[in-house]
């Protein structure tokens, strides 16, 4: 587990990033890899802690603790420290189908559960993971794995996000013939269109899709199951079907003036921007352009941050992000104990960029939008807000109360709603006849079976909006259950 005294000799180094002011002039990834020498030192910081909580993978009081796909983190940290990169890659791929994705866009709950993080900065697990897989591709250590034989069983997977891709990868390696259906024009789901290029360049996604295709997985794009092909037709053609459609029903903002022109869902904004970039480098004009405009993002999560970063690259005049909760503390609060992921204040890449350009963090905390005002042509003109105070009642439950005298008017020509997702889209589920619960597919974690024989569900479609590592976890596990259903037993992990 690294060098015995490494955690005392070396400090945590932040991953290299391109200059915030200059990187907003393009759509390339904002981060850059460490040198081998630096990563060896970072791997050396991994303690001989006895119980490596970093890869336990569970949920504590609503937050993720450790790695849900149970990455063998101490093992490959040690191998990186010793310069044995190819062996580190082998250990990494034992549990993670797509380290090139998680190493870039996962929020790394493993680092929050690092034993060293009790008193010191955690090991830079995410950066080490990314470099291992990148070296694997760069050095030709990764090549198509063609299954030695086929079982004759056919599986259809609806949705090509991380859950769908993980289940497809696993089932293909088990020898089944797998077809992945995607309604968009490119496979990848949110990896392709929901996460902007500066976090995950699409060449990375396409490289993996091409590899999976070479290994025998068929991808059918521009095909919406339920419209272009019916659920009944799929069930007739395939021995099993897995629903990995995600939780794409976006939560709307119910507010006076919502109908104003210029208000969009965040995912629509991000999707059209990425698609136009890939299709024509924005020459087709098929995107929402915020150049020279005042932009407000409502919602304080990662999707909202991506909207901020996108607006900056489009040369917006100003950008502000509203969040209903107070600013997070600099250190763990008493109710956010280790080994749960640390819920603390950080400066995301988008906020560093906005601060560099406009001189301040774009986030506004404890704020509620009261109404939207339009001009005489119905175009968005301004937002009216009030500050909120987060209080706790006698039962210990939190509630919000308006603070009189804190009303404010914000000029805006564009508003992007990034307040989460309500669940999966229902028409397809109704066509399959699967039962739902809280707008999600009703399927027990670990089993993934629906009420319909041979139809399974995994990822956000089953659990709701969550982390990429949970999607990969469920994709791997549902593959095992489908393999068992088809063959009577399974050797898949």
Average pLDDT, the chain: 95
pLDDT of residue 220: 98
- For the cut 80, the answer to whether the pLDDT of residue 112 exceeds it is yes
pLDDT of residue 3: 87
456: β partners = 242, 449
- For the cut 90, the answer to whether the pLDDT of residue 334 exceeds it is no
- Across the range 157-170, mean pLDDT stands at 98
State pTM to two decimals: 0.95
pLDDT of residue 258: 96
* pLDDT over 90 percentage in the chain: 90
pLDDT of residue 61: 78
With cut-offs at 50, 70 and 90, classify the pLDDT of residue 385. Answer: very high
- For the cut 90, the answer to whether the pLDDT of residue 199 exceeds it is yes
- Across the range 235-255, mean pLDDT stands at 95
pLDDT of residue 77: 96
Question: Which positions ≥6 away from 42 have C-beta within 8 Å?
Answer: 10, 12, 13, 34, 80, 123, 124, 127, 128
Rounded to whole angstroms, the Cα distance separating 297 from 363 reads: 9
The secondary element (H helix, E strand) that includes residue 370 is strand 367-374
CA-nearest of 299, 385, 390 to 350 is 299
Rounded to whole angstroms, the Cα distance separating 471 from 461 reads: 10
Instruction: Check if 6-138 and 252-326+365-419 are the same fold.
Output: no
With cut-offs at 50, 70 and 90, classify the pLDDT of residue 63. Answer: confident
With cut-offs at 50, 70 and 90, classify the pLDDT of residue 229. Answer: very high
Token pair in block for residue 202: 């699409």
- Asked if residues 425 and 159 have their Cβ atoms less than 8 Å apart, the reply is no
pLDDT of residue 34: 86
Considering only the top CATH level, what class is 6-138? mainly alpha
- For the cut 80, the answer to whether the pLDDT of residue 210 exceeds it is yes
- Asked if residues 282 and 258 have their Cβ atoms less than 8 Å apart, the reply is no
- Across the range 39-51, mean pLDDT stands at 92
User: Does the domain spanning 252-326+365-419 belong to CATH 3.50.50.60?
Assistant: yes
pLDDT of residue 335: 84
Q: Which residues of 262-282 are buried (b: 16+ CB within 10 A; e: fewer)?
A: bbbbbbebbbbbbbbbbeeee
Pick the CATH number of 154-249+422-487 from 3.30.1490.20, 3.50.50.60, 3.40.50.2000, 3.40.1350.10: 3.50.50.60
Is the preceding omega at residue 339 within 30 degrees of 0, hence cis?
yes
- For the cut 80, the answer to whether the pLDDT of residue 1 exceeds it is no
CA-nearest of 8, 16, 5, 18 to 39 is 16
3-state secondary structure of 364: strand
Rounded to whole angstroms, the Cα distance separating 70 from 56 reads: 6
- Across the range 217-241, mean pLDDT stands at 97
Rounded to whole angstroms, the Cα distance separating 212 from 381 reads: 48
Token pair in block for residue 186: 């490119």
With cut-offs at 50, 70 and 90, classify the pLDDT of residue 319. Answer: very high
- For the cut 90, the answer to whether the pLDDT of residue 200 exceeds it is yes
- Across the range 418-427, mean pLDDT stands at 91
CA-nearest of 360, 337, 321, 164 to 248 is 164
Measured over the CA atoms of residue 181, residue 182, residue 187 and residue 188, the dihedral's sign is: negative
Rounded to whole angstroms, the Cα distance separating 480 from 174 reads: 9
3-state secondary structure of 409: strand
Rounded to whole angstroms, the Cα distance separating 283 from 64 reads: 41
With cut-offs at 50, 70 and 90, classify the pLDDT of residue 154. Answer: very high
* pLDDT over 70 percentage in the chain: 100
Domain positions in the chain: 6-138, 154-249+422-487, 252-326+365-419
- For the cut 80, the answer to whether the pLDDT of residue 327 exceeds it is yes
Torsion angle of the four alpha carbons 164, 165, 166, 170, in this order, in degrees rounded to the nearest 10: 100
- For the cut 90, the answer to whether the pLDDT of residue 464 exceeds it is yes
With cut-offs at 50, 70 and 90, classify the pLDDT of residue 2. Answer: confident
pLDDT of residue 80: 96
pLDDT of residue 38: 93
Q: Please report how the helices 36-44 and 125-138 are oriented relative to each other, as an axis angle in degrees rounded to 10.
A: 140
């Amino acid at each position: 587990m690294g060098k015995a005294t490494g955690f005392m000799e070396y400090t945590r180094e932040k991953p290299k990033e391109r200059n915030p002011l200059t990187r907003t002039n393009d759509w390339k990834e904002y981060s850059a890899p460490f040198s081998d020498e630096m990563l060896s030192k970072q791997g050396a910081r991994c303690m001989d802690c006895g119980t490596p909580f970093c890869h336990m993978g569970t949920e504590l009081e609503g937050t993720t603790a450790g790695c849900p796909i149970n990455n063998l983190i101490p093992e490959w940290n040690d191998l990186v420290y010793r310069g044995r990169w190819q062996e580190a890659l082998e250990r990494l791929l034992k549990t993670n189908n797509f380290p090139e994705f998680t190493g870039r866009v996962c929020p790394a709950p493993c680092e929050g559960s690092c034993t060293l993080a009790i008193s010191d900065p955690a090991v830079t697990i995410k950066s080490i993971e990314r470099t291992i897989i990148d070296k694997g591709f760069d050095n030709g250590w990764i090549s198509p794995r063609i299954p030695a034989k086929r079982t004759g069983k056919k599986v259809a997977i609806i949705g090509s996000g991380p859950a769908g891709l993980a289940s497809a990868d696993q089932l293909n390696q088990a020898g089944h013939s797998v077809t992945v259906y995607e309604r968009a024009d490119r496979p990848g789901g949110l990896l392709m269109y929901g996460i902007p290029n500066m976090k995950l360049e699409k060449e990375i996604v396409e490289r993996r899709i091409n590899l999976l295709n070479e290994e025998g997985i068929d991808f059918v794009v521009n095909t919406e199951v339920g419209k272009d092909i019916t659920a009944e037709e799929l069930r007739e053609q395939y021995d099993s079907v897995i629903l990995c459609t995600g939780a794409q029903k976006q939560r709307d903002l119910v507010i006076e003036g919502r109908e104003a022109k210029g208000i969009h869902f965040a995912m629509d904004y991000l999707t059209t921007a990425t698609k136009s970039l890939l299709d024509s480098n924005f020459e087709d004009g098929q995107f929402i352009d915020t150049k020279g405009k005042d932009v407000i993002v409502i919602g304080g999560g990662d999707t909202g941050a991506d909207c901020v970063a996108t607006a900056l690259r489009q040369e917006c005049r100003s950008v502000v992000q509203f969040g209903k909760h107070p600013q997070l503390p600099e250190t763990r609060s008493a109710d956010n104990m280790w080994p749960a992921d640390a819920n603390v204040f950080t400066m995301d890449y988008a906020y560093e960029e906005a601060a560099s350009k406009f001189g301040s963090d774009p986030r506004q905390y404890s704020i509620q939008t009261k109404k939207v005002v339009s001009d005489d042509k119905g175009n968005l003109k301004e937002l009216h807000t009030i500050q909120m105070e987060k209080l706790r009642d006698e039962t210990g439950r939190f509630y919000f109360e308006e603070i009189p005298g804190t009303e404010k008017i914000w000029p805006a020509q564009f508003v992007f709603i990034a307040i989460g997702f309500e669940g999966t889209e229902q028409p397809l589920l109704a066509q399959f006849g699967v039962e739902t619960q809280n707008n999600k597919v009703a399927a027990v974690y670990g089993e993934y079976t629906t009420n319909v024989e041979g139809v399974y569900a995994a990822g956000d479609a089953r659990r709701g909006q969550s982390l990429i590592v949970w999607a990969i976890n469920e994709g791997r596990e549902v593959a095992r259950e489908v393999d068992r259903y088809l063959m009577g037993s399974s050797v898949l992990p």
